[in-house]
Chains A and B, each alone.
Chain A
């Protein structure tokens, strides 16, 4: 499939940036402090890694800014492929980025023995959190496609790339902190977590399905925008 070629191209273009940032993120997330010993800490570390993944995955949108944006983006636009294939490949890149970082985090934490949680608990958390991150990444990509070359300033572009994942990260960590401190008042969340613990397959499948549907919709919308817009 041609979309995979575009995905591979994005990985080639961003390989140095990806390598450095991914190693850094995993290092901080896994080995910093006394993190990860319990489920709560493990989850916080995973959320941190996912925030990083979401930000890193949008770096490919900075193909150029201002005057030379159209020249730089022309390289990808001149490659033989349709808008759907091109956009699909970009979304695949983001999704694979998120999954790879999440899986690496899980493997490293389990193998290093830094966490007490079981493999199945870690897998369930991974599937749920990564699915949410995929949805966030899709939304972030959609914002990038919708704003397009209308954003001439590199600084504004970087800000746009950070807003959604930062907001989600701080919201998630704050919510988790509040639940930990005032657990009784959020009993419905604890019930939901307990239900997920008893029905992990259903919970994970549901999350993955929602992420997949959202991704398909986002690709279709972004492709429609790109087929009408210049230099997109």
Chain B
């Protein structure tokens, strides 16, 4: 059974629409959820955590919908965001008391062990914690519970490289037993290259691409060459062409490699470059349709 199932999820705001978002996440895997600012990433995560509500679509975590058993549904989910969610004047004592009260199976000894491991101060208010300490605190509360799905919303933004590596290590530990999964929304695509198994790319409230990371990296190439080689046929086959004074760069399907004209070079892509070129491609289509007077 899939740990997370999202089917035809949608939500309408005055000036934004999330439409027909569908994906599944099996146990033991990490999915990167990527997109530009305002693309709908946080909206999707807020809908999964039921902080936002919608009547469009269905979400199941470990087979359960929120409507069937809200307590079990929310107990299964751990959430770590960019900002610390605890009331600012809480200390670890209050956090421990609240976690113990609300979560069945909250392991106080494990929490204390993690707090010690992360070096978090017992008596200070959490508002005084640095970004790195805040993320580690949220990890400690999450790992001491019996969660199944971890949702991370830009949680590694603002962390220094050392702290980020520590966090990535924790994420890999979390899924190592094959019973837990992570849905990880981030701008820092380099992090996803290291740990993600799947990539879901959303733009303007809709899916652009959804595939296994390895398939994506194997399925596309970065191609470069001189502008004189960029004929109409080639233009039609490339994605997100960037033209410069000295040449062009674009993404192309891997099976195009043998058919590329002489003078064009190709190399293995990274997730960053694939996403950037896909966004460029979407913007180009939007501009062209606008110029033709068509609807985007």
Q: List A residues at the B interface (Cβ < 8 Å).
A: 2, 5, 8-9, 12-13, 16, 63, 68, 70-72, 74-75, 77-82, 227-231
Contacts and interface: CB of A to CB of B under 8 A. Distances in A.
A8 B101 CA distance: 9
A12 B98 contact: yes
B53 to A, nearest CB: 6
Interface stretch (B84-92, B170-178, B240-248, B288-296): B84-92
Nearest to A231: B51
Interface in B29-73: 46, 49-53, 70-73
B53 A228 contact: yes
B94 A78 contact: no
B70 A78 contact: no
A106 to B, nearest CB: 30
A148 B229 CA distance: 59
Given A78-B79, A80-B72, 7 more contacts: A74-B49, A78-B49, A78-B74, A80-B70, A81-B70, A227-B53, A231-B51
A228 B55 CA distance: 9
B75 interface: yes
B83 A81 contact: no
B103 A9 contact: no
A36 B49 CA distance: 53
A211 to B, nearest CB: 27
Most A CB within 10 A of own CB, among B79, B94, B97, B102:
B102
Nearest to B99: A79
A77 B51 contact: yes
How many chain B residues sit at the interface, stated as a range, is 20 to 34
A122 to B, nearest CB: 35
Most B CB within 10 A of own CB, among A5, A68, A227, A230:
A230
A9 B101 contact: yes
B93 to A, nearest CB: 10
Contacts of B98: 9, 12, 79
Given A8-B101, A71-B81, A75-B85, A230 B52 contact: yes
Most B CB within 10 A of own CB, among A63, A78, A79:
A78
A230 B94 contact: no
6 contacts: A78-B49, A78-B51, A78-B85, A80-B70, A81-B74, A231-B51
Given A12-B94, A79-B102, A80-B103, A74 B51 contact: yes
Contacts, number: 63
Nearest to B75: A80
Given A12-B98, A16-B89, A74-B85, A82 B51 contact: no
Given A16-B89, A74-B85, A81 B102 contact: yes
Given A71-B81, A74-B51, A229-B53, A2 B71 contact: yes
B166 to A, nearest CB: 24
Contacts of A227: 53
Contacts of B46: 230
Contacts of B86: 75
Contact of B50 (A12, A63, A68, A77): A77
A79 B53 CA distance: 16
B52 A82 contact: no
B92 to A, nearest CB: 13
A66 B94 CA distance: 26
B89 to A, nearest CB: 7
Contacts of B72: 80
Contact of A80 (B51, B71, B83, B89): B71
A2 B98 CA distance: 12
Considering the complex of A and B, which 3 residue pairs feature the smallest CB-CB distances, nearest first? Answer: A80-B74, A75-B85, A230-B52
A75 B95 CA distance: 11
A81 B101 CA distance: 12
A223 to B, nearest CB: 12
A75 B71 contact: no
A228 B81 CA distance: 23
Contacts of B87: 13, 63, 72, 75
Nearest to A82: B70
Most A CB within 10 A of own CB, among B73, B74, B77:
B74
A32 B79 CA distance: 50
Contacts of B97: 12
